[in-house]
Amino acid sequence: MKEGATIFQRRIVIGAAMCVAAFALVVVRLVDVTVFHAAQHRSVAAAIASYRTDLVDRNGEILARDIPVQDLYARPHAFWDASYAAHALSQAAGADEARLKRMFAETRKPYVFVARALTPDAQDRVMHAGLPGLEFQPGYKRYYPDGRATAQVLGRTGLDDDGETIGLSGLEMGLDQQLRDGEPGQSVALSIDMRVQYILAHEVEASRNEFSAKQAGGLVLDVRTGEVLGMVSLPDFDPNARTLGTGDTEHNLVGQDVFELGSVFKIFSFTLATEDHKMRPDEILPIGNGYKIGRFTIHEAEHMPATLAARDVLALSSNIGTTQIALRSGPERQRQFLERMGLLNAIHTELPEARRPQFPAHWGQVETATVSFGHGISVSPLAFAAAAAAIVNGGRKIVPTFLKHPEDGRGEQLIKPETSEKMRDLLRYVVTNGTGKKADVPGYDVGGKTGSAQKARIGGHGYEHKLVTSFCAVFPVHDPRYLVFVVLDEPHGTKQTFGFALAGYTAAPLAGRVISRIAPILGVPQHQDPIVVARGTP
Residue of 169, 207, 263, 378 marked active site: 263
Which phi and psi (to 5°) does residue 467 adopt?
Answer: -115, 150
Cα separation of 394 and 481, whole Å?
A: 11
Three-state DSSP class for residue 26 = helix
Cα separation of 346 and 338, whole Å?
A: 13
Rounded to the nearest angstrom, the gap between the alpha carbon of residue 31 and the centroid of all alpha carbons in its chain is 51
Rounded (10°) angle between helices 331-340 and 365-372? 40
- Give the residues across from 483 on adjacent strands: 221, 474
Cα separation of 316 and 430, whole Å?
A: 7
Helix, strand and coil in the chain, % to nearest 5 = 40, 20, 40
Cα separation of 334 and 363, whole Å?
A: 9
Residues 6+ apart with CB under 8 A from 73: 44, 48, 111, 112, 113, 114, 134, 135, 136, 137, 163
Cα separation of 218 and 54, whole Å?
A: 25
Using alpha carbons, list the distances in angstroms from residue 18 to 11, 13, 71, 96, 332. Answer: 11, 9, 37, 39, 90
Cα separation of 266 and 94, whole Å?
A: 55
Rounded to the nearest angstrom, the gap between the alpha carbon of residue 440 and the centroid of all alpha carbons in its chain is 27
Using alpha carbons, list the distances in angstroms from residue 429 to 311, 447, 478, 480. Answer: 8, 7, 12, 15
Among the listed residues 393, 395, 410, 387, the one whose alpha carbon sits nearest the alpha carbon of residue 476: 393
Q: 463-475 and 447-456: which strand pairing?
A: antiparallel
263 is catalytic: yes
Q: Which residues are catalytic?
A: 263
